[in-house]
A and B are shown apart, each in its own frame.
Chain A
Amino acid sequence: MALSGMRGLSVFISDVRNCQNKDQERLRVDKELGNIRTRFKNEKGLTPYEKKKYVWKMLYIHMLGYDVDFGHMEAVSLISAPKYPEKQVGYIVTSCLLNENHDFLRLAINTVRNDIIGRNETFQCLALTMVGNIGGREFAESLAPDVQKLIISSSCRPLVRKKAALCLLRLYRKNPDVVNIDGWADRMAQLLDERDLGVLTSSMSLLVALVSNNHEAYWSSLPKCVKILERLARNQDIPQEYTYYGIPSPWLQVKTMRALQYFPTVEDPNTRRSLFEVLQRILMGTDVVKNVNKNNASHAVLFEALSLVMHLDAEKEMMSQCVALLGKFIAVREPNIRYLGLENMTRMLMVADVQDIIKRHQAQIITSLKDSDISIRRRALDLLYGMCDVSNAKDIVEELLQYLSSSDFAMREELSLKAAILAEKFAPDLSWYVDVILQLIDKAGDFISDDIWFRVVQFVTNNEDLQPYAAAKAREYIDKPAIHETMVKVSAYLLGEHGHLLARRPGCSPKEIFNAIHEKLPTVTMPTIPILLSTYAKILMHTQPPDLELQNQIWSIFHKFESCIDVEIQQRAVEYFALSSKGAALADVLAEMPKFPERQSSLIKKAEDIETDTAEQSAIKLRSQQQVSNALVVTDQRPVNGMTPDVPLTLVKVASTNSKEDLYPEDHISNGENGTVTEVDPQLPSADLLSDLLGPLAIEGPPDAVQSGQSSLSGLEGISDAVDSAAIVPIEGQINAVQPIGSIHERFHTLCFKDSGVLYEDPHIQIGVKAEWRAHQGRLVLFLGNKNTSPLVSVQALILPPSHLKMELSLVPETIPPRAQVQCPLEVVNLRPSRDVAVLDFSYSFGTSLVNIKLRLPAVLNKFLQPLSLSMEEFFPQWKSLSGPPLKLQEVVRGVRPLPLLEMANLFNNCRLMVCPGLDQNPNNLVASTTFYSESMHAMLCLVRIETDPADRTQLRMTVATGDPTLTFELKEFIKEQLVDIPVMSSVPAMAPASSLPINPVSLSNDPGAILAGLL
């Protein structure tokens, strides 16, 4: 089919198609771009037709993936053309070339608005389509009311109204704070009476967006949704054109059931009964048919019905019906249905009482783990992970292990982590656990994070019965050729600690063990060598009676490494050599590692995070909005070197001295000698040092302690770590200080009134925040962006929530790849009113610098406020009913920042306290109202009155009234904080406790030789 009229465009497309290769294509495209550019430069000579043609060409070139960085203006200008053909092109090309963040769009707002409020229906449609596809904040601000009018206008045809409904959906979804939806609950209910199914489909989408934010307001829509569903399910009064392969609009059915899932329950018994009738009919009446499209459509409805049934907590009978259906689905050949069966079964796991029925399908699910389709394998893995418990852990984990060797790389990491977690969580006995982990390391060493092997060491150390078994296993593995380096580490460690328990077994003499381990030395990298050296020292110590030959061999190794370029290795070599010549002292110093204090596994912690993730998936889904790109832009890399040496107070610097693999903390060695240590550094208060060395924290060897911070990571521990390493080990390299970019305090302050922006930035990382608040709940997404071209490691984030907030941070990866940005959602629930602020304890390593920052999180009181506009009739009765303290508090505030009244009103509005003009007769006064949401008291009305003194703007009288004494007090104090100028406290609140450390590690690095000499 020829392109009507635009020959030039057709010719261009043919030319591009005829290009033999990419280079030719590039040439042709460049030529065309040059041509367009010249034509646009001389715009006067262009007819509308030509302009149109060039703009289409631009879009085509853009689609091919080439940068089109000019001509946007021309595309946008076509929007204001008087004639339909040009206008149409202008709108469509603009909405394809630009996105909501482009400044050019601003230029078009007026024209777009004129088209929307104008009388030309076709223009209205074009404008609504563009705004609905790429509308941003400014569009929402200036157009939302007009769009709202169109939806409910009786003079508009359905075609305009359905577009208006989706356009509003877009504006609301993007900027719920800008679109005023007061009174929309009733309008929504009216819209659901709509007969035109096109308008109804769009309205239903809009309803889903509205209820997902706040279902409370939309109860009146619920019975209407059920009515619509009934009408569709019974195929009553559905025009032929709205049936799809004989099914009454499957899309509207799905949407309606989706909307219903946002209501916690269906209370009215009649509505509930009708709804269940419909659902039952869908569950029982959906058959597999030959026609693919019909089958897909009916199953789309069926799967939505299944999730609605799960959501509504139906009777047991219906639930087992669902499980039976799903059981059938996961066994069919059709891959889509099987995929969805597995996916929905995983969601079903959250419902009580069905686990046992699901377990019956275990064999079938395991088959899917070996499916040829990675999508299906992923679902099967998730499901197996979710359904695992003590009764089937052995089977499932063994399946996972077996599958590990043949699985694709894309899945191995997840697979091994899941297997490790399940093994730890449900191990029937510990030796099995050790087996599993060693097998994991053996089969997928590259994908085993350090957490996993640290954890197994911890278990073995703490369980004496397990030690001979673990050592024997390690002995087996170390004999294998070409084992993974992680296996060398863990085997060497286990054999060093517990190898002597095997003494009587064949092949397990100290010498034989030593030889087996030493064979691996040439194959390992630097970080492993210290572990091997420690193992040698331990073997030497355990060799009784001493074997001179072995001793000489090991000494010569120590001797060889005494001049190693790696300080860690060098130091160990020197120390062990010196210690081993001391005879008896060796046995003391190298005694077996003490037990680890019991603590929650970092893996289990990960597991819990994963579980909350899945729970969230299956419960009512709080659709997070798209957060692509705009929250945080990773800027270009800045030079890493040459940073200023002065240390800002907000940052803790700790020389990264102990390598992660350091399982033999030096404090252990120095225990017998701590007198000398104190001499080494006169700055060290000896009492502190003693408590650090002797306290339980000091013997926490494995870096696990500092890993992915559950609970025990306190400031104190940070200090002790720093002291330990600083006191004993010479410092490696220069200490880098990392300075934040911009003021942390100001960034926090800005974010208190905004929902997205940058929370922290330094030369290595940028932490952005995007938040959404709904009543007493909130969801913050932390965007951790690595600005460097090398990874940031040892990333840890820990939330220190105040008692009134429940906060849950999802898994923060330990490493952020170069130039990558990771998103970590943080769920917040507000329990009580309080002004306390949550703190994010964040640290990472880059090169040799460990950076730790404590950042206040903008989950502050005003985020849980919902502005509320009150009329005089509503306000005064409330005001009067709340009489006197403690519900109503009055205070004269002095030292107020002198603000014009208008600015003060703005300030209040920014704090989500809605200023209600006209309520107070006195023009010098302000009255504001809002609702406070918390879990303990749900919604609570808050009223505020400010009486200013026109003669002295630095003082005012404030009255705050709410239905709760604490809330009244907290709110009053909160407002006061906003009004009174608090001097910026040189970021004291953001300061890390550890930074008050009196010692400067640099001073210790002066003379490592002297330190060692003192020690020995």
Chain B
Amino acid sequence: MIHFVLLISRQGKVRLTKWYSPYSQKERTKVIRELSGEILTRGPKLCNFVEWRGFKVVYRRYASLYFCMCIDQDDNELEVLEIIHHFVEILDRYFGSVCELDLIFNFHKAYFILDEILLAGELQESSKKAVARLIAGQDALVETAKEEASSISNMIAQATK
């Protein structure tokens, strides 16, 4: 299973974290510190796996961002590597050629998307289309709610005039 997902920039800034196993705040900070040290310093032509505290961390770099997922020692590494890419492709499709800035200012969207791809540390949906449909549906719901709210407040505003 995937124990956690980290998105770290080349400068060591954390862009997204998701924990599927229970870690306290202190442990989370420690894990991030340790792994940034280990992964960000690796050269470009090395393999995408790092052995760490009895686990494996599968990571992949996209431009300035490192996507990391921590798995059990005997999990299938390549499978997880492609889960990362699957995630990136969906982000790319949603934002239209995604860049780090998109993820910084829309980190909540990244969370929504991740929640449709992974659940309980396992892959939930492998169809990009299905995920895109779900996210579009969610966006629509939020949009409708906003319109409703504004129309109600309009009405109230009108009524109290």
Q: By the criterion CB–CB under 8 Å, are A67 and B119 in contact?
A: no
Residue of A nearest to B102 (CB): A1
Q: By the criterion CB–CB under 8 Å, are B76 and A258 in contact?
A: yes
A162 contacts which of B102, B115, B125 (Cβ < 8 Å)? B125
Instruction: Determine if A629 is an interface residue (Cβ-Cβ < 8 Å).
Output: yes
Q: By the criterion CB–CB under 8 Å, are B141 and A626 in contact?
A: no
Residue of A nearest to B33 (CB): A65
B17 contacts which of A63, A239, A630 (Cβ < 8 Å)? A63
Q: By the criterion CB–CB under 8 Å, are B24 and A99 in contact?
A: yes
Minimum CB–CB distance from B33 to chain A (whole Å) comes to 9
Contact with B along A154-185 (1 / 0, CB 8 A): 00000100110011011001000000000000
Cα–Cα distance between A159 and B18 once the two chains are bound (Å): 21
B76 contacts which of A241, A303, A628 (Cβ < 8 Å)? A303
A65-B32, A242-B126 given; A336·B49 CB < 8 A: yes
Instruction: Determine if A108 is an interface residue (Cβ-Cβ < 8 Å).
Output: no
Instruction: Determine if B45 is an interface residue (Cβ-Cβ < 8 Å).
Output: yes
Instruction: Determine if B86 is an interface residue (Cβ-Cβ < 8 Å).
Output: yes
Chain B: interface residue total (CB-CB under 8 A): 69
Cα–Cα distance between A49 and B150 once the two chains are bound (Å): 12
Cα–Cα distance between A133 and B108 once the two chains are bound (Å): 16
Minimum CB–CB distance from A188 to chain B (whole Å) comes to 16
A5-B146, A201-B123, A244-B86 given; A92·B115 CB < 8 A: yes
Contact with B along A75-104 (1 / 0, CB 8 A): 000000001110011001000100111000
Instruction: Determine if B73 is an interface residue (Cβ-Cβ < 8 Å).
Output: yes
A85-B146, A241-B129 given; A335·B115 CB < 8 A: no
A67-B25, A99-B19, A205-B122 given; A56·B108 CB < 8 A: yes
Q: By the criterion CB–CB under 8 Å, are B120 and A166 in contact?
A: yes
Q: By the criterion CB–CB under 8 Å, are A242 and B127 in contact?
A: yes
Q: By the criterion CB–CB under 8 Å, are A197 and B126 in contact?
A: yes
Please name all residues of chain A whose beta carbon is closer than 8 Å to the beta carbon of B95 when the two chains form the complex: 1
Please name all residues of chain B whose beta carbon is closer than 8 Å to the beta carbon of A239 when the two chains form the complex: 127
Instruction: Determine if B3 is an interface residue (Cβ-Cβ < 8 Å).
Output: yes
A162-B125, A201-B126 given; A96·B120 CB < 8 A: no
Please name all residues of chain B whose beta carbon is closer than 8 Å to the beta carbon of A339 when the two chains form the complex: 47, 49, 77
Residue of B nearest to A64 (CB): B14
Cα–Cα distance between A132 and B115 once the two chains are bound (Å): 10
Q: Which of A246-254, A267-275, A395-403 contacts B (4 or more CB under 8 A)?
A: A246-254
Q: By the criterion CB–CB under 8 Å, are A96 and B32 in contact?
A: no
Q: By the criterion CB–CB under 8 Å, are B79 and A628 in contact?
A: no
Instruction: Determine if A296 is an interface residue (Cβ-Cβ < 8 Å).
Output: yes
Q: By the criterion CB–CB under 8 Å, are A65 and B14 in contact?
A: yes
Minimum CB–CB distance from B48 to chain A (whole Å) comes to 6
A335 contacts which of B13, B45, B105, B138 (Cβ < 8 Å)? B45
Instruction: Determine if A477 is an interface residue (Cβ-Cβ < 8 Å).
Output: no
Cα–Cα distance between A190 and B119 once the two chains are bound (Å): 22
B47 contacts which of A10, A129, A375 (Cβ < 8 Å)? A375
Q: By the criterion CB–CB under 8 Å, are B106 and A373 in contact?
A: no
A132 contacts which of B14, B77, B82, B119 (Cβ < 8 Å)? B119
Cα–Cα distance between A296 and B83 once the two chains are bound (Å): 11
Please name all residues of chain A whose beta carbon is closer than 8 Å to the beta carbon of B151 when the two chains form the complex: none
Q: Name A723-741 residues within 8 Å CB distance of B.
A: none
Cα–Cα distance between A64 and B25 once the two chains are bound (Å): 11
Q: By the criterion CB–CB under 8 Å, are B124 and A163 in contact?
A: yes
Contact with B along A302-322 (1 / 0, CB 8 A): 011000000000000000000
Instruction: Determine if B134 is an interface residue (Cβ-Cβ < 8 Å).
Output: yes
Q: Name A268-316 residues within 8 Å CB distance of B.
A: 293, 296-297, 299-300, 303-304
Q: By the criterion CB–CB under 8 Å, are B104 and A65 in contact?
A: no
Q: By the criterion CB–CB under 8 Å, are B85 and A293 in contact?
A: yes
Instruction: Determine if A198 is an interface residue (Cβ-Cβ < 8 Å).
Output: yes
Instruction: Determine if B23 is an interface residue (Cβ-Cβ < 8 Å).
Output: yes
Instruction: Determine if A671 is an interface residue (Cβ-Cβ < 8 Å).
Output: no
A300 contacts which of B22, B25, B79, B138 (Cβ < 8 Å)? B79
Q: By the criterion CB–CB under 8 Å, are B125 and A198 in contact?
A: yes
Please name all residues of chain B whose beta carbon is closer than 8 Å to the beta carbon of A623 when the two chains form the complex: 1, 72, 74
Minimum CB–CB distance from A405 to chain B (whole Å) comes to 22
Q: By the criterion CB–CB under 8 Å, are B111 and A92 in contact?
A: yes
Minimum CB–CB distance from B7 to chain A (whole Å) comes to 9
Cα–Cα distance between A227 and B120 once the two chains are bound (Å): 26
Contact with B along A362-392 (1 / 0, CB 8 A): 0000000000110110100000000000000
Please name all residues of chain B whose beta carbon is closer than 8 Å to the beta carbon of A201 when the two chains form the complex: 123-126
Instruction: Determine if B62 is an interface residue (Cβ-Cβ < 8 Å).
Output: no
Cα–Cα distance between A163 and B51 once the two chains are bound (Å): 30
Instruction: Determine if A2 is an interface residue (Cβ-Cβ < 8 Å).
Output: yes
Please name all residues of chain A whose beta carbon is closer than 8 Å to the beta carbon of B49 when the two chains form the complex: 336, 339, 375
Minimum CB–CB distance from B68 to chain A (whole Å) comes to 14
Minimum CB–CB distance from A241 to chain B (whole Å) comes to 4
Q: By the criterion CB–CB under 8 Å, are A198 and B82 in contact?
A: no
Q: By the criterion CB–CB under 8 Å, are B78 and A300 in contact?
A: yes
Cα–Cα distance between A239 and B127 once the two chains are bound (Å): 9
Residue of B nearest to A67 (CB): B25
Instruction: Determine if A13 is an interface residue (Cβ-Cβ < 8 Å).
Output: yes
Minimum CB–CB distance from B94 to chain A (whole Å) comes to 10
Instruction: Determine if A504 is an interface residue (Cβ-Cβ < 8 Å).
Output: no
Please name all residues of chain A whose beta carbon is closer than 8 Å to the beta carbon of B126 when the two chains form the complex: 197-198, 201, 242, 244, 249, 251-252
Q: By the criterion CB–CB under 8 Å, are B83 and A251 in contact?
A: yes
Contact with B along A334-376 (1 / 0, CB 8 A): 0110111000000000000000000000000000000011011
Q: By the criterion CB–CB under 8 Å, are A167 and B120 in contact?
A: yes
Instruction: Determine if B136 is an interface residue (Cβ-Cβ < 8 Å).
Output: no
Cα–Cα distance between A129 and B76 once the two chains are bound (Å): 24
Cα–Cα distance between A828 and B155 once the two chains are bound (Å): 70
Instruction: Determine if B35 is an interface residue (Cβ-Cβ < 8 Å).
Output: no
Instruction: Determine if A153 is an interface residue (Cβ-Cβ < 8 Å).
Output: no
Please name all residues of chain B whose beta carbon is closer than 8 Å to the beta carbon of A250 when the two chains form the complex: 79, 82
Q: By the criterion CB–CB under 8 Å, are A60 and B107 in contact?
A: yes
Please name all residues of chain A whose beta carbon is closer than 8 Å to the beta carbon of B3 when the two chains form the complex: 626
Cα–Cα distance between A300 and B112 once the two chains are bound (Å): 27
A340 contacts which of B27, B77, B85 (Cβ < 8 Å)? B77
Cα–Cα distance between A628 and B28 once the two chains are bound (Å): 11
A373 contacts which of B46, B102, B112 (Cβ < 8 Å)? B46
A65-B29, A258-B76 given; A129·B127 CB < 8 A: no
Minimum CB–CB distance from B65 to chain A (whole Å) comes to 14
Q: Name B112-158 residues within 8 Å CB distance of A.
A: 112, 115, 119-130, 134, 137-138, 141-142, 145-146, 149
Cα–Cα distance between A340 and B18 once the two chains are bound (Å): 27
Residue of A nearest to B25 (CB): A67
Q: Name A933-971 residues within 8 Å CB distance of B.
A: none
Cα–Cα distance between A258 and B85 once the two chains are bound (Å): 21
Cα–Cα distance between A441 and B79 once the two chains are bound (Å): 42
Cα–Cα distance between A101 and B22 once the two chains are bound (Å): 8
Cα–Cα distance between A215 and B21 once the two chains are bound (Å): 25
Cα–Cα distance between A372 and B111 once the two chains are bound (Å): 36
Residue of A nearest to B18 (CB): A96
Minimum CB–CB distance from B160 to chain A (whole Å) comes to 17
Q: By the criterion CB–CB under 8 Å, are A1 and B43 in contact?
A: no
Instruction: Determine if A621 is an interface residue (Cβ-Cβ < 8 Å).
Output: yes
Q: List 26 A-B contacts (CB under 8 A).
A: A2-B105, A5-B146, A10-B105, A65-B29, A96-B19, A99-B24, A132-B120, A133-B20, A159-B130, A198-B130, A205-B120, A250-B79, A254-B79, A296-B85, A297-B82, A300-B79, A303-B76, A336-B47, A336-B78, A339-B49, A373-B42, A375-B47, A375-B50, A621-B74, A623-B1, A629-B24
Which residues of A line the B interface, CB within 8 A?
1-5, 10, 13, 17, 49, 56, 59-60, 62-65, 67, 83-85, 88-89, 92, 96, 99-101, 122, 128-129, 132-134, 136, 159, 162-163, 166-167, 169-170, 173, 197-198, 201-202, 205, 239, 241-242, 244, 249-252, 254, 258, 293, 296-297, 299-300, 303-304, 335-336, 338-340, 372-373, 375-376, 378, 617, 621, 623, 626, 628-630
| 16 more A-B residue pairs beyond the given contacts A96-B17, A128-B119, with a C-beta to C-beta distance below 8 A | A17-B104, A63-B107, A65-B14, A85-B141, A99-B22, A129-B115, A134-B22, A166-B124, A173-B120, A198-B127, A241-B129, A250-B82, A254-B79, A300-B81, A335-B47, A336-B81
